[in-house]
A and B are shown apart, each in its own frame.
Chain A
């Protein structure tokens, strides 16, 4: 247990991936195999169910610390991490208590079995509490934090499964991608499982993806690209780029961040059983409900669900929209021209009965429904007569719920990385408004104690009305500066929220504005993020609600969705162009793409 606690603190102390990898390698080499299995499971984000509710933990900790519940909440707002808050609040461990033995636990596996599993299994609340309190008495704050995270199933150590796989691959002496596949398939319960994972000789049929070919942003109108007939024109869909690899009778679904996400999209993986052996598709994961495509914000709820329930799947069904066929019958097609790959893809779609998908049109708010029955769709092509037609298609993108258009050279091979000139993404311009910062709450993690989660308003009849919360876009230095101003200009506090005097103006960008009955302003903005701090503007010069209303998309918004249980926070912002980003941003950047 101590070894794992040390590892987690060291991982926490560095932001360098290379150092994290070295720490993991050292740990994996030294750890007894039984603990190794458990550690790999935890580190690679295996689902941990909660042994105690955080509400109960808070109450018990408040009583143990002899402080009122509200003060626990104040501390939590300040610290930004509940496990840490409680660890700091609890009384010092009792030396010589019988519980001290518990800190010896020896191994991680023993600790989990001896405490967390027992507490989970205990139905009686008072007995649960006695068990938790016994462990508390034996642990110092550093160990308590890690243990609390075991208990609540919330341990995040800032390492991705990909990084864990890379470290394990060093230990085992195999390729990182192969280790990633092993990791996904592995059952990590016993010492034997760990040894098998690290066996250099074990081999699996590779279900590795091809490196993703990426589009470069097109900043100027495409007239300079030559004859439009030389280009395949498609919509730029608002989903997550993915590759589906069907080899050896199994399916692997990879995101652009080379993360394996098959377990998150069982409906896609199950349907892929029908695909011919040796097929690799490049495409986009999209939420399609009631025959209509919903945006990335809905998809992100599914992306965050590592093990979706049937209810999740029914609420937000996901489909794979195929753009490209990279491998057929086990043969790598990437060297062929796009036009011939597309022909093969269309043949496959016809054989499998995949429908196309048309975005809703500007004239017709309701999109033509997608037939039920397969989660596979074929990316439709636009047939523009000239570049002007491409431009006018792009101009309708916002109403259609897509992000713009993609231009792919018909005679081009499927390249590697972002080679300029072959694939272009021509996105719609974001909408923008200057808004006034009207309040803030403290952030979490690295932003703990800093007021970084901002509320913005615009003018309406001499009053500032709230229009958006935005989190990303400022540099660390600006965040600190804004925090200071927020503290100095606080007018009121409501729990962790501070209302401030209007003094800061920020330019916000967003993808869409829609009428909304759920917001006091009457409008909802999508993916708001900060473009820049307008130090040159006074609050009086900021935008008005009328300005914002003028940007409302002329299409009725889709009906609100039922919220998923425990759906994590929607991504904080899209495509923040600035260096500072919250975990949510990074998540989004990893997922979102970017054909």
Chain B
């Protein structure tokens, strides 16, 4: 059983809402990114999503765009992200999911990426601009290496495509709980609950819901409809605010513990 499947099975067995965290790799720099992953794991994150910075993040809002710019300015590349994951893998228990746009992976070459990701201990890959219709080569290569392919679902995704994503994908499904780019929102949209209901009617595959969550009550609310809540932009904001301070890691840990409260 993959590390991701095991983690979601444990969450269900313990009737616990999982917390999936997203950070942009290399923000504020690669070395501190590695430390952030260790702290997230220690603070109780259940799945660590690691974003690969890309020059044209068209699915991302301003918070992650800025993080991407900081990471690129710090010289972060896909190769360095994989090396960083390899360096922390032994210290963390949570599964690691690479979150990337297609082009950096294509440029590295799919075969080389799969080999290096496998060696680094990457558990899953979500390619933002690679819907199931385009993603067959990626999916096949990942499956061959025992890496889960995570697909996105949105409020506009049809039932037929929910089925396709649950058949072709593995590990878990990532539901976008509202329309738009990534970013922090104060309250949860009804569309989150609706989407979860439509997914639940089609598949028993674990579901993580995200896009816009920032508070412990959001995490608890999502727990009523899904296996896990994803917190991305809000965490990236914490990193942005404390990136230059010595207290960065403590702030990250405190924020994740608060989300868990």
A and B co-occur in one complex? no
Q: Residues of B at under 8 Å CB distance from A? A: none
Q: Residues of A at under 8 Å CB distance from B? A: none
